[in-house]
């Protein structure tokens, strides 16, 4: 029993620690990017996105190179549905060093909670598709959550780069907000 505990502890330490190779260390400022005025700039994933003043955007200060964190979380103050405004967020997560990184697995993981929160007839999951955001290819998922008059449209985009998942989420609750949400996604640009 003691050997099993020691093995589990060692396995946890190996999976939770960053690489000991100095060449593979990632600068936290580069990985998580920063705001430069109204632009969010991320050198690691090679993109920037401009937010106009109608977006209320924040970045989460709790970030770990080992585990990941939120890059930004924005809500559109002029949304048609003011109770549930358009949300655009991005997060980064470290991939499992013992697995094969797959955007499809990451997107499926994000959808697991819907089955617990909604009835099966209220969930429409469209097949995964590939799309381009800011000149980079992403795997995308689209889920519609419809319960009576209330609907939510959830778009998630995922890609893997150098051991990290980048996931961009866009959520809106009315078809009238769809154009603004999709237009904001088009504002992603490559840095180089």
Sheet holding 34-36, edge to edge: 34-36, 39-42, 47-50, 188-190
For 64-88, the pLDDT digits (tens) are 888 899 999 999 999 999 999 999 9
For 117-166, the pLDDT digits (tens) are 888 889 999 999 999 999 999 999 999 998 767 789 999 999 999 999 99
| Cα dihedral 29, 31, 35, 36 sign | positive
Mean pLDDT over residues 93-116, rounded? Answer: 87
User: In the chain, what percentage of residues exceed pLDDT 70?
Assistant: 86
CA angle (169, 103, 117) in 5-degree steps = 55
Question: CA-CA distance, 118 to 36, in Å (whole number)?
Answer: 39
The pLDDT of residue 103 is: 95
The pLDDT of residue 154 is: 96
pLDDT surpasses 70 at 11: no
Question: CA-CA distance, 53 to 42, in Å (whole number)?
Answer: 20
Q: Tell me the whole-structure pTM to 2 decimals.
A: 0.84
Domains located in the chain, CATH noted: 26-190 (3.40.1000.10)
The pLDDT of residue 131 is: 96
């Amino acid at each position: 029993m003691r050997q099993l505990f020691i093995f589990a502890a060692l396995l946890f330490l190996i999976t939770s620690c960053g690489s000991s190779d100095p060449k593979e260390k990632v600068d936290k400022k580069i990985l998580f990017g920063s705001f430069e005025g109204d632009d969010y700039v991320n050198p690691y994933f090679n993109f920037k996105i401009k937010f106009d003043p109608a977006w209320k955007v924040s970045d989460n200060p709790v970030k770990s190179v080992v585990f990941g964190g939120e890059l930004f979380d924005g809500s559109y103050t002029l949304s048609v549905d003011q109770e549930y405004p358009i949300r655009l967020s991005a997060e980064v997560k470290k991939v499992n060093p013992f697995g094969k990184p797959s955007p499809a697995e990451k997107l499926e993981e994000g959808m697991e909670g819907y089955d617990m929160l909604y009835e099966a007839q209220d969930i429409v999951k469209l097949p995964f598709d590939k799309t381009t955001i800011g000149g980079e290819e992403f795997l995308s998922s689209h889920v519609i959550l419809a319960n009576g008059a209330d609907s939510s449209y959830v778009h998630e985009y995922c890609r893997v780069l150098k051991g990290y998942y980048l996931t961009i989420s866009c959520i809106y609750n009315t078809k009238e907000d769809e154009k603004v949400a999709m237009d904001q996604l088009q504002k992603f640009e490559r840095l180089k």
